[in-house]
Amino acid sequence: MHHKPAALVTGAGRGIGRGIALELAGAGFDLAGCDIVFDPANAGDGLFEVKAAVEKRGGEFLPLAADIAALEAHAGLLAAVRERYGRLDLLVNNAGVAPAERRDVLETTPESFDRLMRINLRGAFFLTQKAARVMIEQAPAPDLKPAIVFITSTSARVSSTSRAEYCISKAGLSMAARLYADRLAEYGINVYEIRPGIIRTDMTTAVREKYDALIAAGFLPQKRWGFPEDVGKAVAALARGAFPYSTGLILEVSGGMDIARL
């Protein structure tokens, strides 16, 4: 019996995670998606809206409640995916948060710093450690190599002095991706990093006017917002094995933001 490959997407209830789940469903994956918000009664948005949208695209979707920062939840999360699908072929580390309030780097609080490190960096690092062990131990799939994708941000390299803790967490996550790419290569597990730029999601709602003005003024060569599906398409290409000889690849999905311009 031919099974579809199975992917786990963290933070799948909205925004970029939702866009990734939909594109992976279109690319032939069955999905497990976790989120800290888990409300089966809400079909309008969140995990259960995503479930319906994935099923419309012909994929299965297993909604799971999980706080990635809670390391003790990781084993159960991975067990649930394996119980449903029998294996794990793709992990997408997408869950992440912005600071609760933007503050100048001279005013960054230890509490906010610790919160972002715990969720954005520490959680993803240790979930990947466990998921990698699952991928190493399971029987190889006949037609697809397992892979891990880290969703970081252009903030891994671009300074935003009003959210230092976010930038530092994403820079750390970039190195985590590199370390795992190095270590897991011998097992045939490719690890990639995607750096989204200015993407229209709930996270960017508070700064929409600022970014609208920047984009209108020509800040990006491609003069538009990015959308979750832009990131999703990149994840799907990596997941399908389009870059087999490129482990450690950093793929910027940012409308050309990384082009140095005069």
Give yes or no for a contact between 20 and 92, defined as CB atoms under 8 angstroms apart: yes
Q: What is the H or E stretch that residue 233 is in?
A: helix 228-239
Q: Two tokens at 123?
A: 């959680």
Going along the chain from its start, the domains and CATH numbers come out as 6-199+228-253 (3.40.50.720)
pLDDT along the chain (262 residues), means of 10: 86 98 98 97 97 97 98 98 98 98 97 98 98 96 94 98 98 98 98 98 90 96 98 98 98 97 92
Q: What is the model's pLDDT at position 142? A: 86
Q: What is the model's pLDDT at position 206? A: 85
Percentage with pLDDT > 90 across the chain: 95
End-to-end CA distance of the chain: 57
Give 62's strand partners: 32
Q: Two tokens at 236?
A: 């799907």
Task: Compute the half-sphere exposure of residue 23: CA atoms within 13 Å on the CB side of its CA.
Answer: 22
The whole model's pTM is what? 0.97
Q: What is the model's pLDDT at position 1? A: 43
- 45-60 pLDDT, tens per residue? 999 999 999 999 999 9
Query: By three-state DSSP, how is residue 152 classified?
Result: coil
